[in-house]
Amino acid sequence: MNKGSLIEKSHERSKEFGVQTKTNNSKKKLKENEVYTLLEKNKELITISMPYINMVCETIEDNDFILILTDMDGCILDIKGEQRVVHEFAKLNLDIGVFVDEKNIGTNAMGVALAEDRPVQVTADEHYVDIFKGLTCSAAPIHNIKGEIIGTLNLTGKWDKKHPHTLGLVIFGVKAIENELHNVKSQEILQEAYNYMDSIIKNVDKGVIIVDSKGKIKNINEHGAKILEGNKIDIINRDIDFILPDWFKIYEVLEKDEKIITREVKTSENSNFKTLLSVKGVKDGKKLIGLVITLKDEKERYTKGIARYDFEDIIGSSSIMNNVITNCKIVANSPSTILIQGESGTGKEVLAQSIHNYSVRKNNKFIAINCGAIPSNLIESELFGYEDGTFTGGKKGGKIGKIEMANGGTLFLDEIGEMPLEHQVNLLRVIQEGKITRLGSTEEISVDVRIIAATNKNLKREIELGKFREDLYYRLCVIPINLPALRERNGDIKELINYFLRMKSFKLNKAVPEVSQKLYNDLINYSWPGNIRELENVIENIVNLDGYMSFSLDVDKEKSYDNYEKEAEEIQGDEISLEYIEKKHIIKVLRKYKNNIYKSANALGVSRNTLYNKIKKYQIEVC
């Protein structure tokens, strides 16, 4: 509707209401005791509006304007402006308690804004009553969180002061008032929810934590406090990041998606004990206003078989990673085996868990087994389980193997290249036939398991060396996924640096440190042979030292990674051994730190035990 039609309709309504064009007064004005009741009733609106009304007043360069706040019925709640101007407008009988809707003074900006539920500017002869025809008025309706009109804000001045920006200024003020009203109401709704839930969570046999939109713990039951090894009174009003450092990232995910996110966390800052928690969003309509976190009971604090990560947990927006994630989502529901190939520290298990949680198997178990961490003589019993009496000292009643445990879900075989050759044929049979036999038994058990394997080795090279079965390779590599090294993920290093700075600062209860531009540039330009794991360790070092490092990154030497590739190509042709590259890099790092195991392990982003194992494996001489 154009403005002309809007004014015409308002004039017609004014006439129907019986408003006289020659009148000098509103048809309705409250008595003094009624005004007091009105102001009490609208106390919240007045209190919240005042800072923004004052801000608009200060913004207006011309002092000949007044600001009027009304309630939902068009009754004036407050008038702001220079005292001189307020007194002048009082002569027009505009005062607190006076009704300025269309029924009582005819066409004016406040009345039209209430009737049409839209911002409007009414100038000069557009007014219905003659005494207002020397004015220009700009008004907009104010809405509550439900979208209902609860008042108007109006800017009035002499008609020759008319300017289109005055309406824009009013709209700006109204939006600010509405935002503040919505925030207050959201907190009230949340507080009501806290109070309501308080009576419920006391009687729940699981730990429950209620968190607001700012990450503050608003309530926790006794079970939850016990699991977190703390006191309920001490825990309430703490920041949730003391057990959930990346809560802000979870909050961002839950704002867009209704889901339950699971995390494995420490039960307290100084504890090595872990528990599983589940996070669900609390919404008011579409707006997320808090979190409900449930913790496993004391007796079931930690249950294996939960995949904690989703694709949303993967930090980075580079095209190469986006392509990997897109492809993984496409194949997530396929029953075919997946082989994830990538260097150490690139996040292969995180990707495997994300695939599981995106698939139809997400409500079933995700069982991970590190093929390189289990002694050769125990691999079969770990994978297939055993019957009672099979082994001397074995578990009474026997034991379920990891494959059977993963039935209906996903089995993740990490470091598959480390599986001894003599055991690979048994895994091949499981993939081909979907059946297992426990050690000490002849009974076949059917299993429905989706297998995801991962390796940092060149398995084709391992096949040539006679260390890996070719038939198993092709069974595993139905869907190959190549996970890029961190140095190949353009732009992602910056995102990861900023993420780990925040996360490690929360974890260590320290402020996010300022990092010098030189150090930041070194972090960006470093080749990160240890990938994300190495970066995470380096950032934790920086946070501990308030923005500095206890060792230096030799960026120029690390750029020699390309030389490793060239050297490997000269020796092996087209087939580049990741082991060869890893060995060369370990030797260089050891030389750099003069064979200091502690410093070398830190630089590589691995533990000292892992480094000792690598030295032994590659037969590196350390003097």
SS3 readout for 541-587: HHHHCCCCCCCCCCHHHHCCHHHHHHHHHHHHCCCCCHHHHHHHHHH
Q: CB-based burial of residue 369 (10 Å sphere; 0-12 exposed, 13-18 middle, 19+ buried)?
A: buried
Question: Taking the CA of residue 120 as centre, how many other CA atoms within 13 Å lie in the half-sphere pointing to its CB?
Answer: 26
Q: CB-based burial of residue 140 (10 Å sphere; 0-12 exposed, 13-18 middle, 19+ buried)?
A: buried
Q: Residue 256 has which token pair?
A: 């867009």
Distance CA 60, CA 430 (A): 78
Per-residue model confidence (pLDDT) at position 353: 94
Distance CA 201, CA 474 (A): 52
| Helical axes 164-201 vs 43-59, angle rounded to 10° | 150
Q: Residue 311 has which token pair?
A: 């694709």
Per-residue model confidence (pLDDT) at position 40: 93
Which residue's structure tokens are 């007043």?
57
Domains and CATH numbers, the chain: 3-186 (3.30.450.40), 202-300 (3.30.450.20), 332-482 (3.40.50.300), 494-618 (no CATH)
* Those residues with Cβ within 8 angstroms of residue 41's Cβ, 6 or more apart along the chain or in another chain: 71
Phi/psi of residue 478, nearest 5 degrees: -65, -45
Q: What is the 3-state secondary structure (H, E, C) of 583-598?
A: HHHHHHHHHHCCCCHH
Distance CA 524, CA 67 (A): 54
Quickly list H helices, 272-362: 319-331, 348-358
Per-residue model confidence (pLDDT) at position 190: 60
Sheet harboring 479-482: ordered strands across? 366-370, 410-414, 450-455, 338-341, 479-482
Provide block-wise average pLDDT over 10 residues at a time, the chain (623 residues): 83 95 92 92 92 78 82 95 84 91 95 95 93 93 92 90 76 88 73 64 76 87 84 87 79 78 67 72 79 68 66 89 94 95 93 94 92 86 87 77 93 94 91 91 92 94 93 95 93 90 80 89 90 92 86 56 43 52 82 82 79 85 72
Per-residue model confidence (pLDDT) at position 302: 39
Per-residue model confidence (pLDDT) at position 239: 86
Quickly list H helices, 375-420: 379-384, 402-405
- Position 247: which residue type? W
